[in-house]
Structure 1
Amino acid sequence: MNAKRLTGLIAATYTPFDAVGQLRLEQTPQMVEHLIAAGVSGLYVCGSTGEGMSLTSAERRLVAESYVQAADGRLPVIIQVGHNSVVEAKQLAAHAQAIGADAVSATCPSYFKVQSAQLLVDCMREIAGGAPNLPFYYYHIPVLTGSSIDIAQFMQLGGQQIPNLVGLKYTDTKLHEFQQCLKLQNERFDVVWGCDEMLLGALASGSTGAIGSTYNIAAPLYHQIIAAFEAGDWNEARALQNQAIEMINAIGTFPFHSAMKAILGMLGYDFGDCRLPQRALTPDEKIRLRELLCQVGFFEGFVTR
């Protein structure tokens, strides 16, 4: 399948909830406008950041629809459809195609562990078959799925057996493996980086696109990293990447996505709290989070408002 490659910063979007944890999708258009203004070049919906695994399938359909409608064709929308039920994931993929999404992506089932690269291909072929007209990206995030399959072997086999497999969302820290996947079959696959704190290393390894959570709040910082890299100013690029690391470390002092939602609130985007099993930050924790962010200069030029 010929598909346009994902480039630049793709925001892994958050799902808005109200005070009692129900969907508050009237917030979606405001967030999409904010991300477009920040120069984000795509939206990755219902992934880990968007708490896709904590939503019902009916809710996932509604969230997907809200982002596709709000984007209105101005930037690509990728819908993450992974589910412990392969049948359910295939149905979510079909829905994504029906509503006009630009691509689908999926994690592997994680309760019953996938035991081989071929079995992973079998699962992803079934899911991708729900949206045969859309590009399909496998979502490799072993820290959450527990899958230890050789990802390069999967891509080799998948390229032969999954007609619409075009790429990979690579959310791991093994730059050598990421680079290996980039080079497979004469650079056939669109391999998109997924660890914000290592963006510079990924750029040096050949990345041209990245999907991440903190692009929701600090896209200007990452744009400056990319600009410094492209200009060959390695000292500046390293300094900027270090600022991103300091920001991420401050956020990671707390439950990460709960802290990110608290930051969205500080910036004027009320997306509520995360659903269980993730917990909300306490009022004292929110105060401490703001203090830590001030210490690393978060509100002084790199934040997306």
Structure 2
Amino acid sequence: MIDNKLNGLIAATYTPLDDNGELNLDPIAAMTEWLIAQGISGLYVCGSTGEGMSLSSDERRRVAEAYVQSAGGRVPVIIQVGHNSLAEARQLAAHAQQIGATHVSATCPSYFSINNVNTLVDCMAEVAGGAPELPFYYYHIPALTGSTLDMVEFLKLGGQRIPNLAGLKYTDTKLHEFQQCLELDPARFDVVWGCDEMMLGALATGATASIGSTFNIAAPLYLGITEAFHQGDLVEARRLQSLSVEMIRTIGKYPFHAAMKAVLGMKGFDLGGCRLPQGRLPESDVSTLRQNLESIVFFDWSQPEIHAAT
């Protein structure tokens, strides 16, 4: 039984870097304050968005500590600890528990492929055991890990062998599998949606929480989608979701996370670029991206007054 299920919009946070690509933790406090003020109800740290896989374990610890401190217990902080070394992942999970994180999450090892559910459960049991007091969420993102195993079967078997298995961060587009996971054992498992441009479909399927990158730059838009859906105004919900799709398509014309950091810079948060292989968006592209976003009126409807957008 999960006493603290996730809910609402959980921002997959970015990791600030300086001009040399080194950690710059100073903006995290202001970024956290702004996200909470925008209606964000949780922080997901060192995931794909936060370049967890491009950071050293020591850097990941420092980033985790900064976000836990800046949140100050006001919203859940989920630390992503996945690593190709299960020993490293387990140590990162133990650190997350030690510093006061509320949840821990992990991708599976991806260099050597995992071809069966039993092996996946064994791997995640090793990681989750590092933080036995925290709810553990397996981070299912087959586009990056290459693991396309059946998540219903994972929950069934994992529920027997991982005492603190709380659910999934489900970052795939298979709404039918997502629905089966939601319905498998609602009292035990919390399944969180992870595909921003399909959030309306996930809400219709039963999602109560979502984790997303673009929540950093347009939380009011997604709150509007959620509100319209729950009010039964599907025309408005679809209109707002269409804005999300258009925004993501616009940003996706560039290296996505480098472009997202550029957009955050336009909103007043200098988080630097990304580490290789993602890199930093050239200034010429930043200028073009701004023009592209202005052409879709992004800077108007991504603000809290989006309900007045036309």
Answer yes or no: same fold by TM over 0.5. yes
| Residue identity opposite 1:213 in structure 2 | S
Report the alpha carbon displacement of residue 272 of structure 1 after superposing the two structures with TM. 0.2
1:138 matches 2:120: no
Report the alpha carbon displacement of residue 282 of structure 1 after superposing the two structures with TM. 1.2
Give distance in 2, aligned partners of 1:184 and 1:221.
Answer: 30
Contact 1:167 1:191 in 2 (8 A): yes
Identity of aligned residues (%): 65
Alignment of 1:235-250 (within 5 A): 235-250=235-250
Aligned to 2:289: 289
Aligned to 1:158: 158
Alignment of 1:151-230 (within 5 A): 151-186=151-186, 188-230=188-230
Aligned to 1:127: 127
Aligned to 1:257: 257
Give distance in 1, aligned partners of 2:3 and 2:275.
Answer: 35
| Residue identity opposite 1:56 in structure 2 | S
Aligned to 1:23: 23
Give distance in 2, aligned partners of 1:23 and 1:61.
Answer: 11
Report the alpha carbon displacement of residue 81 of structure 1 after superposing the two structures with TM. 0.1
Aligned to 1:9: 9
Contact 2:2 2:188 in 1 (8 A): no
TM-score, normalising length: structure 2:
0.97
Greater than 3 Å deviation, 4+ residue runs: none
Give the total of aligned pairs. 305
Contact 2:117 2:149 in 1 (8 A): yes
The CA RMSD over aligned residues, in Å, is 1.1
- Please state whether the residue corresponding to 1:16 is helix, strand or coil: coil
Aligned to 2:118: 118
| Residue identity opposite 1:87 in structure 2 | A
| Residue identity opposite 1:266 in structure 2 | M
- Please state whether the residue corresponding to 1:156 is helix, strand or coil: helix
| Residue identity opposite 2:75 in structure 1 | L
Report the alpha carbon displacement of residue 281 of structure 1 after superposing the two structures with TM. 1.1
Q: Is 278-287 or 97-106 further displaced after alignment?
A: 278-287
For residues 165-217 of structure 1, the C-alpha deviation after alignment (integer angstroms, 9 at most, x for no partner) is 01100000010010010011355310000000000000000000000000001
Give distance in 2, aligned partners of 1:212 and 1:86.
Answer: 25
Give distance in 2, aligned partners of 1:186 and 1:250.
Answer: 36
Give distance in 1, aligned partners of 2:245 and 2:187.
Answer: 29
Aligned to 1:67: 67
* 1:136–1:144 CA distance, 2 compared to 1 (3 A): same
Q: Which runs of no fewer than 5 residues in structure 2 stay unpaired?
A: 306-310
| Residue identity opposite 2:65 in structure 1 | E
Report the alpha carbon displacement of residue 2 of structure 1 after superposing the two structures with TM. 3.1
TM-score, normalising length: structure 1:
0.98
Q: Which runs of no fewer than 5 residues in structure 1 stay unpaired?
A: none
- Please state whether the residue corresponding to 1:25 is helix, strand or coil: coil
Report the alpha carbon displacement of residue 304 of structure 1 after superposing the two structures with TM. 6.8
Give distance in 2, aligned partners of 1:295 and 1:113.
Answer: 43
- Please state whether the residue corresponding to 2:70 is helix, strand or coil: helix
| Residue identity opposite 2:129 in structure 1 | G
Give distance in 2, aligned partners of 1:269 and 1:185.
Answer: 41
